[in-house]
Amino acid sequence: MKTSINKQQKTLFLLLVLAVTGITACKKDGSEGGKGAPTISRVRTISKSYIDSKLTTTITTYDANGKATSVTYPNTTPQVVAMDSTTTDGNLQNMYAIIGTNLASVTTVSFNGVSVYFNKALGSDSTILVGIPKTTPAGPTQSNTLSVTTLYGKVDYKFSILLPPPTVTDVSNYNFSSGSEITLIGIGLASVTDVQLGTSTSKASISSKSDTQLTIKMPTSTLTSTTLLLTYPGGQVSLKQVFVNLDLTYKFFTDDYGTDWSGNFWGSGEVSSATAKSGVKSLKLTYAKGNWSANGVANWYPGLPSTGGYTYLSFYIKGGSQDYTLYLTGDKRATPYGNGDQSTPITVKASIWNYYKIPLSTLGLWATGSPSNTLGFWIKGPDAQDESFYIDDWVLVK
């Protein structure tokens, strides 16, 4: 897909070049251009990123009482279209036309002191076509200077390079509690100045940041789940990732067993400090070779009623020595607790923490009655050897 987009943009650029220059090479008639000092009268766009405002994203968050709040965010995915408009600032990886006089003998073009590539064959004595590389220094702390040097002089022009919006591609944890830290991973994160929790007034504090990582400390919040709103010099960006507030979840296991829950193992299991996704401990489930065993948790009284108003079952599970499929099992599902229910397979990648957030509406935890008293995972085999998995942040989310 990226290749296709790049080809479309290059094609558009070439068409625009031909249109705006009028195939200037044919019109120069051997002229070397003016021999006076260069001037810049303006910089103009040759295309723009058009965003279809009819396309929106709606995100719903819930407070501790289950009250829903929905916020609709505008579409941020651009389409490139032709445009001729004077501008005093530019975006990285965009093309611009420098308009002035005595430009034919240009030798260098620079933005904020960094030289950039240009093709003289596509210019004229009054036009230089230039792209701004993604590595160009940008933002309000720069000199905001466009410089053109020719055989006959140099001219500086006030021109700002805008910081790109921060983009998050991965996160260290989809769960948080008051005072915990989350690291956002992506690009353009050094420009973030403020982090707000969804539609609330609560804000996370910034612990550290670089262009590729932003570590934040989460506040106490009444939201059961939330997105993050990042503020940067160019505006605001709402993340698509949704984060769960562990402080307001129903807990099977988070650093220890939840209230009234305990281990329920056909094989073996234990609370372990060997690894953890959040906190310092996880629930280690060990499956002996060839045993087809089920391991999990039990709450014999009062159990888990179906009336809690929860929406998702969520957990992290760290894989074994190779990829496996585990199966969710519960005593009040259509097939009772054990090693026979294959209706909910869980693919677990080897050696890493795998995150799951499953709608309760698809699980039927109370299909045969309420309350539910047992919940766990079983495995076919394992055939090669004993295997251990680690469970953490095992919760129900409103």
* CATH code, 210: 2.60.40.10
Residue 2 has pLDDT above 90, yes or no: no
All residues at 6 or more sequence positions from 379 whose CB lies less than 8 Å from its CB, including other chains: 287, 292, 293, 324, 325, 326, 327, 387
Residue 149 has pLDDT above 60, yes or no: yes
Looking at 222, 241, 260, the residue that finishes a domain is 241
Residue 171 has pLDDT above 80, yes or no: yes
Q: Distance (Å, rounded) from C-alpha 77 to C-alpha 200?
A: 25
Do 323 and 295 share a structural domain?
Answer: yes
- 71 is a domain residue: no
What is the extent of the structural domain holding 187? 167-241
Do 378 and 254 share a structural domain?
Answer: yes
Looking at 190, 221, 241, the residue that finishes a domain is 241
Do 332 and 384 share a structural domain?
Answer: yes
What does pLDDT average to over the chain? 90
Please check whether residue 44 is in contact with residue 15, taking contact to mean a CB–CB distance below 8 angstroms: no
3-state helix/strand/coil string of 228-246? EEEEECCEEEECCCCEEEH
Looking at 193, 220, 241, the residue that finishes a domain is 241
Q: Distance (Å, rounded) from C-alpha 105 to C-alpha 107?
A: 6
Share of residues in the chain with pLDDT > 70 (%) = 87
- Give the range among 194-203, 314-323, 369-378 with minimum mean pLDDT: 194-203
Residue 18 has pLDDT above 60, yes or no: no
Do 347 and 326 share a structural domain?
Answer: yes
- 35 is a domain residue: yes
Residue 13 or 372, more confident: 372
| Across 363-385, average pLDDT | 98
- Give the range among 72-86, 175-189, 374-388 with minimum mean pLDDT: 72-86
Do 322 and 179 share a structural domain?
Answer: no
Please check whether residue 185 is in contact with residue 167, taking contact to mean a CB–CB distance below 8 angstroms: no
